[in-house]
Amino acid sequence: MHKKSNRKGFSLIEVIAAVIILAVVATATVATIAPMREKSRDKLDLQNIASLNATVQAYYMEMGAWPDTNLTRLKTNGYTTDTYQKTPYGGYYTFDSTTQKVINKKGPVRP
């Protein structure tokens, strides 16, 4: 004959084991995703800088002058849709008049 069990729920040990397993899986997932997220943000930053540099060159060719440091003239003259160009790192792109390039002061240091 088969013996019936009177258990109606999980024991405390089973619940703790499940929580520990979920914590290990979550930690492994975060450790894997964090570097990929940073790489993605860096790549987006490089693409934004390249695009803005092309826009700045077009502005110079058509207007005969470089844009202002905070790039607001690009919006004023219809070259961009945003007044300030936000970076993926929480700051804004600026124009360096000595190098005639768009830079990101809050971004990663690149050679």
State the Cα–Cα distance between residues 83 and 11, nearest whole angstrom.
Answer: 59
Provide the residue ranges of all domains of the chain, joining segments of one domain with +. 12-103
Phi-psi label, residue 93: left if phi above 0, alpha if psi -120 to 50, beta otherwise: beta
pTM value > 0.85:
no
Q: Distance between alpha carbon 45 and the CA centroid of its chain, in Å?
A: 8
In this predicted structure, the answer to whether residue 24 has a pLDDT above a threshold of 90 is yes
Q: What is the band of 67 on the pLDDT scale with cuts at 50, 70, 90?
A: very high
- pLDDT for residue 34: 82
Residues 28-41 have pLDDT tens digits of: 988 888 888 889 99
Neighbour-count burial of 33, counting CB atoms closer than 10 A to its CB (0-12 exposed, 13-18 middle, 19+ buried)? exposed
